[in-house]
Structure 1
Amino acid sequence: MIRNLMAATAVAVMGSLPVLAQDWSGQVTPYVWAAGLGGDVTPMTGAPTLSLDKSISEVLEDTDGAFFLSGYARRDRLVLMGDFSWSSSSKSGTVPPGLPAEGKLKQRSLTLLAGWRAVENQQFTLDLLGGARAWSVKSSVTVAGGAMQASPGKDFVDPILAARANIALAPQWSAILYADIGGFGAGSENTSQILATVNYQVNDNLWVSAGYRQLSVDYRSGGTAVDVTMAGPLLGATWRF
């Protein structure tokens, strides 16, 4: 009887102990984004506004280099996310009255988010997040072999609110839906992003994905105005650890 009482007491004590948090899990995803470009850009005070409407093939023709990487980590219901984008492009031509000119544009964006897993079951998960997106846009214009030069650039940070859903479709198949909105006049007037992918699980650690991404920003400061949207298909590979 004493042994039974001691066993019952031990079970009661152990049952009252807090459950230890799960270990961290994470994943990294390098991806290729074939984005078209549209919008209006005023590089500086007194400069003309440039209206952009470039297809994916035209953007690729002018691209000097690009790199895209996203990451995701979770411990229990705590969620961390990040995304880094970098691209560099150049274009040669002439400006009135027929002078040779070359322009270069480099952009970087880094999005960092933290949040909470609000919904979790076998078929569906939903993460709610907040954070910031830092932008760096650098450009340079050279006319007549250096007779005229300008190198305007802007750095700014936008607060971001985001949601990410993961939906089980079938064995080894899933879909991810992501959306964010931000700016609110703190950095840009507004910025937004949507992402949708279909994912296939190759093995325990590797997934491949195909989908669509759209990223927009409307920034105005002094004589500089950038109101552009980049959108197009993407392909990625995810390694989970």
Structure 2
Amino acid sequence: MPFDSLARARSIVAAGLICVGTFLAPNGAKADPSDWSGQVTVYGWGAGVSGDFRPLPIAPRLSFDNSFSDVLEDLDAAFFMTALARRGDLVLFGDLTYSSSSRSGRVPPGIAASGELTMRSATLAAGKRFHAERQTTLDLLGGARFWSINGLVSVPLAGVSVAPEANFADPIIALRANTRLSPRWSLLAYVDAGGFGTGSDFTWQTAVTANYKVSDRFYLSAGWRHLYVDYNKNGADFDGSMTGPLIGATIRF
């Protein structure tokens, strides 16, 4: 299924609105403002999936309402990674998310059906850091989240099998706050919102993590993340969210 989102993505990037998804990466020690510092985080997200997916107007609607244990049963593959670079008050971020799940069930009036859903997202970011007080920093960010959603709905009895895809980009505004609680512990809160009919109708995300400094180069994080997207274009309809606990490990360099 063709989409015109690549042109929109180029214009968004050209405008310099690049947004954040790396809420897991805790702030490191202060560095020389003229020097670059960076870190990479690999994390797991035990997200329960809920929502509705209809690839075409004539296709059946497949509903998801899975707990964390259901997701583990249905999940075929998953990969999550974030990266951060900072120079003075300039912050650059990147977030990659990949998940693939499959399930079987029934669609009205009780006909056997199966479905697969593969979701990829990349959130790129640039923003300015403000120092609210000695122990707290605020990052004001703007930018884009890029989506690639591939689906498959098969109803053998009805002879229906469709496998469309949607590729689009959403402009996003975000706020990221980090508070140091002690020399070892910090708390991070993140929220963004976007879409506004450009790519999806609406998307938003929030996360809170507690971060523990093991050493100057190694951190552990744990928290909660929620991601929502409502996409409806050219007859394809996806309205869903993923929410659940997350854990991560960060290497700083």
Q: Which TM-score bucket, shorter chain as reference? A: 0.7 to 0.9
Q: Select 1:131's aligned residue among 125, 140, 143.
A: 143
For 2:230 and 2:107, how far apart are their aligned partners in 1?
27
Q: Select 2:244's aligned residue among 213, 232, 238.
A: 232
Aligned 8 A contact 2:55 2:162 in 1 = no
Change in CA separation of 1:134 and 1:175 when aligned onto 2, cut-off 3 Å: same
Deviation at 1:153, TM superposition (A): 1.1
How many residues align? The count is 222
Partner of 1:80: 92
Change in CA separation of 1:78 and 1:238 when aligned onto 2, cut-off 3 Å: same
TM-score if structure 1 supplies the norm length? 0.85
Q: Select 2:126's aligned residue among 85, 95, 114.
A: 114
Query: Does structure 1 residue 140 correspond to structure 2 residue 152?
Result: yes
For 2:115 and 2:205, how far apart are their aligned partners in 1?
27
Query: Does structure 1 residue 51 correspond to structure 2 residue 38?
Result: no
Partner of 1:14: none
Deviation at 1:148, TM superposition (A): 4.3
Deviation at 1:115, TM superposition (A): 0.6
> Which structure is higher in RCO with an 8 Å CA cutoff and minimum separation 6?
2
Q: Per-residue CA shift, 1:160-218, capped at 9, x if unaligned?
A: 11111110111200011111111011101111000100011111100000000000001
Q: How does 1:99-110 map onto structure 2 within 5 Å?
A: 101-110=113-122
Which amino acid counterpart does residue 90 of structure 1 have in structure 2?
A: S
Change in CA separation of 1:39 and 1:141 when aligned onto 2, cut-off 3 Å: closer
TM-score if structure 2 supplies the norm length? 0.81
Q: Per-residue CA shift, 1:100-149, capped at 9, x if unaligned?
A: 6432211100000101012265301111111100000001234449x643
Change in CA separation of 1:94 and 1:49 when aligned onto 2, cut-off 3 Å: closer
For 1:92 and 1:226, how far apart are their aligned partners in 2?
18
- Mean alpha-carbon deviation: is it higher for 217-226 or for 37-46? 37-46
Q: Per-residue CA shift, 1:35-71, capped at 9, x if unaligned?
A: 1112222221122333321111111110001000011
For 2:175 and 2:110, how far apart are their aligned partners in 1?
50
Aligned 8 A contact 2:61 2:107 in 1 = no
For 2:136 and 2:213, how far apart are their aligned partners in 1?
16
Give 3-state SS (helix, strand or coil) of 2:69's partner: helix
Partner of 1:15: none
Q: Per-residue CA shift, 1:12-34, capped at 9, x if unaligned?
A: xxxxxxxx842101111100000
Which amino acid counterpart does residue 182 of structure 2 have in structure 1?
A: A
Query: Does structure 1 residue 31 correspond to structure 2 residue 43?
Result: yes
Q: Select 1:157's aligned residue among 169, 183, 187.
A: 169
Deviation at 1:99, TM superposition (A): 6.9
Gaps of 5+ in 2: 1-31
Percent identity between the aligned chains?
53
For 2:146 and 2:220, how far apart are their aligned partners in 1?
28
Partner of 2:7: none
Which amino acid counterpart does residue 171 of structure 1 have in structure 2?
A: P
Q: Select 1:205's aligned residue among 214, 217, 222.
A: 217
For 1:204 and 1:151, how far apart are their aligned partners in 2?
47
For 2:62 and 2:107, how far apart are their aligned partners in 1?
13
Determine which structure has more spread, i.e. the larger CA radius of gyration: 1
Partner of 1:179: 191
For 1:149 and 1:46, how far apart are their aligned partners in 2?
11
Gaps of 5+ in 1: 1-19
